Amino acid sequence: MASVALSYEALTDVDLAGRIAQRDPLAVRLVLKRNNQRLFRAAWAVLKDRADAEDAVQEGYLKAFAAIGSFTGASSLATWLTRIVLNEALGKKRSSQRRARLLQQQSVALMDDYRERQTDISAEPSPEQEAARRQVAKLLERAVAELPEPFRVVFVLRDVEGLSVEETAEVLGVQPQTVKTRLLRARRRLQTMLAPALQDALQGAFPFAGKACDALTERVMAKYLA
């Protein structure tokens, strides 16, 4: 079985897309596992709500897999998926804003709900380390959530998820210089809210691993392969 897994790991994005089009469960699972965290973070950067972000990722995957035959490899599969999920998240946000206007609502309690739904992390540190990590992560999440959306999305994709300037520009459909400008402005705003020492903790923020990640994988596979 290990040799089969290794052969799938070595497949090109185009080959993986072809196997997904044939509803190959090993290819589907591999692509989900590789991209779940990036796509969740991208969706959260738009929606700022954990449950909505998970829904956007799930629906984005299903739309992408339904159109997987159009994937040509012009960009990476990860970039292609990120663009689709971002569009899904933006669509959800627009729908939510329309509903909010109809109901004359001006705000939603986002971060409290996010904290209540904190994901379990597979490798648990000591109780002291975990307490410190959670405190720092909450500060970071709150500060990033307060950024204007264009800055927040670029910040999450570049500094949290680690996409290059070019990849981020391709995902968002903007010029690389726009990405650089927005990231610079996002960092400057965050510097007024966070001490420099907190920057190293970004990888611990917006966790999407363990049970939540596995559950999303199983939901998408069940719907796509049904």
Q: What is the CATH number of the domain that holds 213?
A: 1.10.1740.10
| Co-location of 160 and 135 in the same domain | yes
pLDDT at 113 over 50: no
| Co-location of 103 and 185 in the same domain | no
| Co-location of 141 and 201 in the same domain | yes
Which whole number is the average pLDDT over 187-196? 76
| Co-location of 23 and 104 in the same domain | yes
How far is the C-alpha of 172 from the C-alpha of 79, rounded, in Å?
Answer: 10
How far is the C-alpha of 39 from the C-alpha of 86, rounded, in Å?
Answer: 8
How far is the C-alpha of 192 from the C-alpha of 30, rounded, in Å?
Answer: 40
Which whole number is the average pLDDT over 169-173? 94
- pLDDT tens-place string over residues 121-155: 445 565 656 666 777 677 778 888 989 999 999 99
| Co-location of 22 and 53 in the same domain | yes
pLDDT at 1 over 50: no
- pLDDT tens-place string over residues 68-87: 999 999 999 999 999 999 99
| Co-location of 70 and 182 in the same domain | no
pLDDT at 19 over 80: yes
Res 211: pLDDT: 86
| Co-location of 85 and 140 in the same domain | no
Q: What are phi and psi of 21, to 5 degrees?
A: -60, -30
Q: Could you tell me the CATH number of the domain that includes residue 158?
A: 1.10.10.10
| Co-location of 52 and 98 in the same domain | yes
Distances (CA, A) of 82 to 12, 60, 163: 18, 9, 11
pLDDT at 109 over 70: no
Contact 107, 49 (CB under 8 A): no
Contact 171, 79 (CB under 8 A): yes
| Co-location of 127 and 70 in the same domain | no
Res 131: pLDDT: 65
| Co-location of 142 and 99 in the same domain | no
| Co-location of 155 and 79 in the same domain | no
| Co-location of 17 and 54 in the same domain | yes
Q: Please give the residue range of the domain that contains residue 200.
A: 122-206
Who's near 22: CB < 8 A, 6+ residues apart? none
Q: How confident is the model at residue 37 (pLDDT cuts 50, 70, 90)?
A: very high
Q: What is the total count of domains within the chain?
A: 2
